[in-house]
Structure 1
Amino acid sequence: MTDGITDEHFEQFLHKLQMLSVAEMHAPQWNRCGRPNNQFILLQDQTPLCARYRGEHVKLLHGELLSFSLSRILGLDNVPIVMLSEADTRGHQWHGMNISGAGWNESSIVALIQWVHGLDSERSRVKMPAVILDAYEHQQVFSHHHQRVLLLNANNLTELVQWSDLILFDYLTGHYDRVASMQDGADREQRPSVMHENIRNLRKVWQTGKLWLIDNESGLFDGYELLYHGGEMGRKFVRFHRQMLATNCVFRRQTVRKILELSRLPEPEEALLNYTADQDPLYKKLPYANEMILFKKYFHVRLKEVADWIHKCQLR
C-alpha cells in the first residue's frame, strides 16, 4: 500500500516541523486531538497537527515518542509521526501563540503528532477481521496452513498482514487502549460481542483500507506500569496480550526480520532510546519518568516473547 509514511516523507515532515512556526491553535474536539489540554494546530503552510500536552505525566510523552520510534525501526509505515517541541513563546515556532490559554506552562515540552486526513469519519472505523476474530473466539491459531487463507482475496490479505503488524506492535509496547481494552470490556461485562465492535484507537483510510495505529501514549511506559505493577488488573492485561498474540501465525516477512534483528541485540532497549535521541534532539530534555526502569527491564523480555512465538509459528 502506498499511502503510508515513506523515508522521504518522514524526512520532509521533520524538516517542516523544525523550520515552520505555528500559525493557529484551536481547542480539541472528540474526533480531533482528543483531551482538553491538547490543541489542534496549523503551521504556516496550513499543515495540521495535534499538539499533545500532558503536564506532569511525562511518561505518556515518552510512550508516544518511543512507540513511534519503534514503529520506524520495525519498518511500519502506519503510526503517525511524532516530534517533540518546546512551547516557548520567545522562540520562532510558538511566537505570539496563547499557550497559557490552552492551559500550558511556558516552555513545556509537547508532542507534535501528524494529522492523517480521512480518519475522523464514521467510515474510518475498524472492526477486527473475521478470520482473526474467529481464531480468537475459538482459541485457535490462524496460519498459512488454514483453509480460509485460500479464500482470502488481495484486500483481505492486505488487511490481515496489517493486523498482524498491529498485534506484534501492541504486544511489544504493552498498549492497553486498543484491542486489549476491547478484551477487557468483553471480560468485565461478560459480553463477548464487545470484540465485534469498532476497535479503539484504530482507524483506516476507507478509500484504500490503510490502517493507522493512533494514540500510542500508553505504550512502553504507562503500559508496562499497568502490566507489571498493576496487580490483578495488570495480570489480566498480560493475559489479554498473550491471547491476542496466540491467534495469528501469518506475518509480514519484513516485520519478522526487523523484530528478530532487534531481539538479537544485547541491549535492544538502549538501541531504541539511542535511535529516538538521534531522531529527536529534544528527547534528552524531556524530564525523566520513573517508568524508564520498567521499560529497561521488560522491553527485551517482551521482544524475546514475540521472537519465540514467531519461531513456534515457523515450526508449525
Structure 2
Amino acid sequence: MNSRYSSVSFVSEKEKDDHKYNKEVYPKGMTEDMKDILKDNKMGHHKHKISAVVGKNDTNVFLPSDRTVIFEDIYWGPEVENSLPEGYGKKATDIWESYMEQAEVVKMELGCGRMQNRLVTFSDGLQACVRYRQNTDQIQGEIFSFYVAKLLNLTNLAPSVVKVVDVKDQLWKNVANDIATAQWSSNRAVVLTQYIPSLESANIPEIFKPSSRHLNKFDVLKMSLKENDTVSKSQVLLEKLKLKHVKKSENKNEKADFDHLDLNLSKKSIDSFVELAQWSDLIIFDYLTANLDRIVNNLFNYQWNINIMDGPAHNLARKIDSGLLLFLDNESGLLHGYRLLKKYNVYHSLMLDNLCVFRKSTIDQLKEIFATKSVGKKLSEEFHKKNNAVIRDILPPLPEKNAKILHERIGKVLGQVEKCEQNFSNR
C-alpha cells in the first residue's frame, strides 16, 4: 500500500545514534511554501551580521569576529549565533496563518497529549495538533505564550493559530462525526499548532543539573578547553593560564581579566553551545510566562525523585535534522502559572538566578519592551490583529493584571542581566 507520508515523526534508534536524517518528512504533493516552514534549514539563512549582534558602533568596544564565542562578558558570540538553527520565525507563522484560512481537516485521531486533544490531517496530508480545553485559560495561555515568543523573536515554538469549532465551517465540515466522538463543544476556541516531524526527546544539560546549576563565561571557557579538539596547543596553554588567573581573581573578589572569548571550536563544542544558547532563551521564556509544565515540573518533583533530572525534560523536544529545541505545550503560561506563583516561583527563579550567558538579541528586545512599558499593548495588538471578532468574542484577551505581572518579570530578567554584568565584568 502506498503511504501518503515519506516518513514519520520518530525515527529508528540507529538514525538517532547517527544523528543523520536526510529523508524528506513532508506529505507527498505538499507545496514548496509549506515544505519551507518544516525544513528548518540552519545553513545559509540564519547568519547574523556582527553589527546586528553587537548593536554598537563605538570603535573602543570589542567587535566580535565569526570565531567569538563570548563577548561583553555575558553574551553568546557570532560563532554560536551563526550556528543556531533557523526555527520558525515570522515567515513560517505567516505561511501557516495563510494556509489555515483555506485548510480542510479530513481526519482526526488520538494524539498530541491530553485526552481531548487531536492530531488532525488536512486534505493535502499536512498535520496539526489541536489543543482543546474546557477551560479557556489554558487556550489563552497557549496562544499568548506563543505571542510572547514572537515578541522576543524566539523561533523555538511551532506556528499556531486560534480557530473556533463549527462544523459548518470549511475547516471542520468533513469531520463532524469525529468532533462528536471527541466530545468537543461547538463554538469552542481551539489552538491549531503545526505538527513538526522528526523529533526526539531533549535532556537537561549537565550544567543545569543540581550538582552545578550555573552558566557563566568561566563555564563556557572550561567547556571549550575540555571538549575542543581543534585549538592549538599554545592557545590551550594560554587559556589555561588565563583560567588559573581567573580562579585566583575570583577568590580575591577581583574583576575577571577577559571580557570575550575567541576560539576555533570543534563541531562538538559548537553543538553543545548551540544547545545552551537555546536553553538561555528557554529559561527566560519559562520565567516570563511562569510555565509550570516543563523544567519546573522536573525541579518540583526532584524532592521525591532525584533521578528525574537525568530523564528527558518535560514538554521539550529536539529536531533531529537541525538540533532546534521545540518548546511544546505552553498552556500553563501567563494565567494558570501566574495564579500559582506563590507556590512555584522559587523554582522559576532557581534557573534564572544561575544564568549569566544570554543571547543579546533576546535581551535587547526585553530592554526595549520594558523601557516603553509596552508588553501589554503589544500583546493586545497581536491578539486583535490575528483573530477575528468571532474568536475574540469567545476567547478573552490577556487580563491587564497579567500583563503587569509579565512586565514585572521582564524587569526581573533584566535585573539578572545587570547582576551578571556586575559580577563578571572586567571594567
Could you state the TM-score of these two structures normalised by the residue count of structure 1? 0.87
User: Does structure 1 residue 130 correspond to structure 2 residue 185?
Assistant: no
Alignment of 1:141-180 (within 5 A): 141-146=214-219, 147-151=221-225, 153-180=269-296
- Secondary structure of residue in 2 paired with 1:125: strand
Q: Is the 8 A contact 1:165 1:252 kept in 2?
A: yes
**Superposition deviation, residue 245 in structure 1:** 0.4
Q: For residues 136-186 of structure 1, what are the alpha-carbon distances to aligned partners after superposition, in whole Å with 9 as ceiling and x for unaligned?
A: 4346x4211334243351111101100000000000000011000100001
Q: Is the 8 A contact 1:277 1:283 kept in 2?
A: no
Q: What residue is the counterpart of 1:219 in the other structure?
A: 333
1:108 to 166, 185, 188: 188
Q: For residues 10-67 of structure 1, what are the alpha-carbon distances to aligned partners after superposition, in whole Å with 9 as ceiling and x for unaligned?
A: 2111100111121211122xxxx11121111111211100111102x00000000000
2:308 to 162, 176, 194: 194
Q: What residue is the counterpart of 1:53 in the other structure?
A: 132
User: Does structure 1 residue 256 correspond to structure 2 residue 330?
Assistant: no
**Superposition deviation, residue 244 in structure 1:** 0.6
Using the alignment, how far apart are the partners of 1:270 and 1:72 within structure 2? 14
Q: Which amino acid aligns with 2:276?
A: L
Q: What residue is the counterpart of 1:78 in the other structure?
A: 156
**Superposition deviation, residue 6 in structure 1:** 3.1
Using the alignment, how far apart are the partners of 1:137 and 1:265 within structure 2? 39
User: Does structure 1 residue 206 correspond to structure 2 residue 320?
Assistant: yes
**Superposition deviation, residue 280 in structure 1:** 3.0
Using the alignment, how far apart are the partners of 1:283 and 1:138 within structure 2? 46
Using the alignment, how far apart are the partners of 2:184 and 2:208 within structure 1? 42
Using the alignment, how far apart are the partners of 2:91 and 2:163 within structure 1? 21
Q: Is the 8 A contact 1:202 1:212 kept in 2?
A: yes
Q: Is the 8 A contact 2:290 2:337 kept in 1?
A: yes
User: Does structure 1 residue 36 correspond to structure 2 residue 36?
Assistant: no
Q: For residues 199-246 of structure 1, what are the alpha-carbon distances to aligned partners after superposition, in whole Å with 9 as ceiling and x for unaligned?
A: 100000133221100000011111101114xxxxx1xx1111111101
Q: Which amino acid aligns with 1:143?
A: N
- Secondary structure of residue in 2 paired with 1:97: helix
Using the alignment, how far apart are the partners of 1:2 and 1:126 within structure 2? 15
Q: What residue is the counterpart of 2:98 in the other structure?
A: 15
Q: Which is further off, 193-202 or 272-281?
A: 272-281
- Secondary structure of residue in 1 paired with 2:411: helix
Q: For residues 249-305 of structure 1, what are the alpha-carbon distances to aligned partners after superposition, in whole Å with 9 as ceiling and x for unaligned?
A: 11111111111111112242232222232133365233338x835413411111110
- Where does structure 2 lack aligned partners over 5 or more consecutive residues? 1-83, 228-268
Root-mean-square deviation (CA), in Å? Answer: 1.9
Using the alignment, how far apart are the partners of 1:296 and 1:269 within structure 2? 5
Using the alignment, how far apart are the partners of 2:314 and 2:406 within structure 1? 24
Using the alignment, how far apart are the partners of 2:99 and 2:139 within structure 1? 21
- Secondary structure of residue in 2 paired with 1:145: helix
Using the alignment, how far apart are the partners of 1:137 and 1:261 within structure 2? 35
- Secondary structure of residue in 2 paired with 1:126: strand
Using the alignment, how far apart are the partners of 1:118 and 1:294 within structure 2? 39
Find the structure with the greater CA-based Rg: 2
1:311 to 418, 423, 427: 418
Q: What residue is the counterpart of 1:266 in the other structure?
A: 373
Q: Which is further off, 99-108 or 216-225?
A: 99-108
Q: Is the 8 A contact 1:63 1:217 kept in 2?
A: yes
Residues 18 and 95 of structure 1: is their aligned pair in 2 closer, same or farther, counting only changes over 3 Å? same
Q: Which amino acid aligns with 2:270?
A: A
- Secondary structure of residue in 1 paired with 2:332: coil
- Secondary structure of residue in 1 paired with 2:218: coil
- Secondary structure of residue in 1 paired with 2:274: helix
2:351 to 244, 252, 258: 244
Using the alignment, how far apart are the partners of 2:374 and 2:361 within structure 1? 21
Identity of aligned residues (%): 26
Using the alignment, how far apart are the partners of 2:380 and 2:391 within structure 1? 9
- Secondary structure of residue in 2 paired with 1:275: helix
Q: What residue is the counterpart of 1:231 in the other structure?
A: none
Q: Which amino acid aligns with 1:219?
A: G
- Secondary structure of residue in 1 paired with 2:317: strand
Using the alignment, how far apart are the partners of 2:128 and 2:414 within structure 1? 35
Using the alignment, how far apart are the partners of 1:178 and 1:283 within structure 2? 28
Q: Which amino acid aligns with 1:144?
A: K
